[in-house]
Amino acid sequence: MRQVLEFEKPVIALREKIAELKKFTTDSDLDLSEEIVKLETRLEKLENDIYTNLKPWDRVQMARHADRPTTLDYIEHLFTDFLEFHGDRYYGDDAAIVAGIAKYKGQPVTVVGHQRGKSTKENIRRNFGMPHPEGFRKAARHMQQAAKFGRPIICFIDTKGAFPGRAAEERGQSEAIARNLMEMAGFEVPIICIVIGEGGSGGALALGVGDRLLMLENSTFSVISPEGAASILWKDGGKAKEAAEKLKITAQDLKELGVIDNIIPEVRGGAHRDLASQAELVDRAITDNLAQLEKMDKQVLLEKRWEKYSNIGAYTE
Amino acid sequence: MLKDFFSKKKHASKPSEEAKQDIPEGLMLKCSSCGKIYYREEMRKQLYVCQKCGHHHQLPSDERINSLFDEGSFLEYDTNLETGNPLEFPSYSQKLEKDQLKTELKEAVVTGEGTINGFRTAFAVMDSRFRMASMGSVVGEKIARALEKAREENIPFIIFTASGGARMQEGALSLMQMAKTSAAVQRFRDAGGLMISVMTNPTYGGVSASFASLGDYNFAEPGALIGFAGRRVVEETIREKLPEDFQTAEFLLEHGQLDAVINRHDMKKYLTTILDIHQAGGNVS
């Protein structure tokens, strides 16, 4: 069954009502088309009201929606000749991250992204998109290769965070993330990072250092999950909704704080409503940004990347 | 009676309220590991390392700096950076003020330069007494600037890390300090700079997953707890009991995550040897 979000319920109810009336009109002699038009206008207005006034917590729900498009969904729509490659060459292959090479409008690129599952079975295989060190090291390996062969790198961010497990700690979760942050700062090719769902903490940032950090309109990017923050700050995980507001985790807030470069709009009702149209919106963002970045020579690219990160922060002097 | 001697008394070691009042605040210190009682001054001279069990207690940043750098050589960088409250997070400013009063520090890291047995070195020392040395904008900015300074001056950079992780009250701005500091390490490395990271208790989260793990050499003090996720979070996630020594410096050494574990008393000599070898190699001016 399709997942219904709390704030969408009035929309769903009205839609069902319209569908019911339409069916009634076709099945019986009674003509209700005038009534239907009236309700459709109301639906239009209601949808507009709801989707242009989403609260941070609503967006958290949207970002976590079970049907929300994943990295592999976007790869299928945006690239051709995608070849997925596996393994970090040290320990194993982490299915929570996918990586490979492809063509973007004819141009060779390297694509890396967190990958969660849509079904329980796939989610278990992919560890709910929460990587171990070998996932980050696989990503690093492919990005190093991209730098070697001069291919731009496109990263899709979609994770609750790096996996907090015993094996992950034993194999150097911290070092794996840290190394990605450092190396991504120095690759001499354009890097575009796009938050498509949840961007949770260091595990998200480990694919998030580049020339552009873009966020889908209803995605989130945060230092800690709202639940985690609520439980630490107020010893009450139930205050997650409040924490979501205070932490400033929406694309709109983060653009204002100077953390991200731009927002990619979503189709009405969220990316999961229409993958093909959503992919077009992402496509446009990649094309525009790639064109800007490819004009720069390597030195300028790196200098601007450093400037961008060295300017993030709030302090007075 | 011998039997009494072996029976457990619930509050045997807890001083009475009256006894507590007899001892001036902070005159005595108790080793949190073995329970041995010390005069504070005696403990201070021992760099807060218990003489009985070797436990390394928290060392205030000023005392760490004094223990390592040649007398009169210390020059502090960036003393004017002030933390704001960018998210207007409830009670954040008050918490900062409280820790500033308590520690006489402005923020959780002190940066600067000095000489260690004559070797000029830039450094950063984090101080966990201040907001658990969590990484906010000022911490990230000061560390990045110290790295840039070391790069420009062509001198080594040594960092003593300690941190509970991110400064939650600064939200994603805190998270992005991981990227900023790591990018600064990248530039420093690219220029051939020598970076030494010494992790002290505790080094977690965003600090562990950025500059702390990016030294040419990564060391730790004995018994220091180091990790990405905290023990409790890991236990709750995997629903299994973790070994006693999980995430200790010794555990990390065994798992190949550290170059060495170094006793605080040996630190100056050890670092001197590294600086000396590197100078002979030509990387250090």
Cβ–Cβ of B173/A166 closer than 8 Å? no
Which 8-state DSSP code applies to residue B135?
B
Nearest Cα of chain A lies from the Cα of B256 at a distance, in angstroms, of 8
Asked if A216 and A194 touch (Cβ cutoff 8 Å), the reply is: yes
Which CATH number characterizes residue A100's domain?
3.90.226.10
Domains for chain B: give ranges and CATH numbers: 26-57 (no CATH), 58-85+92-278 (3.90.226.10)
Q: Which residues of chain A have pLDDT under 50?
A: 1
Task: Look up tokens 């694509």; give the residue.
Answer: A111
Residue A126's DSSP bridge partners are none
- Amino acid letter, residue A151: R
Same domain, A31 and A173: no
Residue A34: per-residue pLDDT:
87
Chain A residues with beta carbon closer than 8 angstroms to that of B210: 177-178, 181, 202
Same domain, A137 and A163: yes
For residues B143 and A194, what is the distance between their CA atoms, to the nearest angstrom?
27
Sign of torsion over alpha carbons A122, A124, A129, A134: negative
pLDDT tens for chain B, 285 residues: list them.
455 555 544 444 444 444 444 545 678 889 999 999 999 999 999 999 999 999 999 999 999 999 999 999 999 999 999 999 999 998 999 999 999 999 999 999 999 999 999 999 999 999 999 999 999 999 999 999 999 999 999 999 999 999 999 999 999 999 999 999 999 999 999 999 999 999 999 999 999 999 999 999 999 999 999 999 999 999 999 998 999 999 999 999 999 999 999 999 999 999 999 999 998 654 444
Q: What is the DSSP string of chain A?
A: -----GGGHHHHHHHHHHHHHHHHHHHSS---HHHHHHHHHHHHHHHHHHHHS--HHHHHHHHT-TTS--HHHHHHHH-EEEEEE---SSS---TTEEEEEEEETTEEEEEEEE---SSHHHHHHTGGG---HHHHHHHHHHHHHHHHHT--EEEEEEES-S---HHHHHTTHHHHHHHHHHHHHH-SS-EEEEEEEEEEHHHHHTT--SSEEEEETT-EEESS-HHHHHHHHHS-GGGHHHHHHHTT-BHHHHHHTTS-SEEE---TT-GGG-HHHHHHHHHHHHHHHHHHHHTS-HHHHHHHHHHHHHT---EE-
For residues B207 and A178, what is the distance between their CA atoms, to the nearest angstrom?
9
The encoded tokens of residue A22 equal 């339409």
Residue A34 burial (C-beta neighbours within 10 Å; 0-12, 13-18, 19+) = exposed
Cβ-based neighbours of A147, under 8 Å, separated by 6 or more? A187, A188, A189
Exposed e or buried b for every residue in B21-34, given b needs 16+ CB within 10 A?
eeeeeeeebebeee
Query: Is A60 contained in some domain?
Result: no
Among residues of chain A, what percentage have pLDDT more than 90? Answer: 84
**Peptide bond preceding A226 in cis form (omega within 30 of 0):** no
Cβ–Cβ of A259/B210 closer than 8 Å? no
Same domain, A174 and A127: yes
Same domain, A45 and A111: no
The H helix count followed by the E strand count for chain B is 11, 11
Residue B10: per-residue pLDDT:
46
Query: Is A1 contained in some domain?
Result: no
The encoded tokens of residue A11 equal 């929309």
Average pLDDT, chain A: 95
* Terminal CA-CA length for chain B: 69
Helix, strand, coil tally for chain B in percent (to 5): 40, 20, 40
Residue B9: per-residue pLDDT:
47
Between A168, A209, A246, which is nearest B89 by CB?
Answer: A246
B34 interface with A at CB cutoff 8 Å: no
pLDDT in tens, A249-280: 999 999 999 999 999 999 999 999 999 999 99
Query: Is A317 contained in some domain?
Result: no
Nearest Cα of chain B lies from the Cα of A65 at a distance, in angstroms, of 22
Query: Is A91 contained in some domain?
Result: yes
Query: Is A115 contained in some domain?
Result: yes
Chain B residues with beta carbon closer than 8 angstroms to that of A237: none
Same domain, A180 and A130: yes
Nearest residue of chain A to residue B203 (CA atoms): A174
Query: Is A59 contained in some domain?
Result: no
CB atoms within 10 A of CB B1: 6
Same domain, A219 and A132: yes
Residue A141: per-residue pLDDT:
98
Same domain, A10 and A83: no
Cβ–Cβ of A178/B240 closer than 8 Å? no
Same domain, A49 and A135: no
Q: What is the DSSP string of A191-210?
A: EEEEEEEEEEHHHHHTT--S
Query: Is A95 contained in some domain?
Result: yes
The encoded tokens of residue B274 equal 């590294």
Same domain, A248 and A286: yes
* Structural domain total, chain A: 2
Cβ–Cβ of B81/A310 closer than 8 Å? no
**How far is the CA of B181 from the CAs of A37, A244, B42, B153, B178, in angstroms?**
58, 26, 37, 18, 5
Same domain, A153 and A31: no
Range of the domain at A111: 65-311
**How far is the CA of A184 from the CAs of A146, A147, A153, A306, B111, in angstroms?**
11, 10, 10, 11, 26
Residue A175 C-alpha from the chain's centroid: 24
Q: What is the DSSP string of B58-101?
A: ---HHHHHHHHSPTT--EE--TT-EE--TT--TTHHHHHHHHHH
Pick out the residues of the known binding site of B for Zn(2+): 31, 34, 50, 53
Chain B residues with beta carbon closer than 8 angstroms to that of A164: 228-229, 233-234, 237
Same domain, A175 and A275: yes
For residues B258 and B71, what is the distance between their CA atoms, to the nearest angstrom?
30
Q: In what helix (H) or strand (E) does residue B183 lie, and over which residues does it extend?
A: helix B171-190
Cβ–Cβ of A182/B212 closer than 8 Å? no
**How far is the CA of A180 from the CAs of A84, A204, B52, in angstroms?**
20, 11, 42
Same domain, A93 and A169: yes
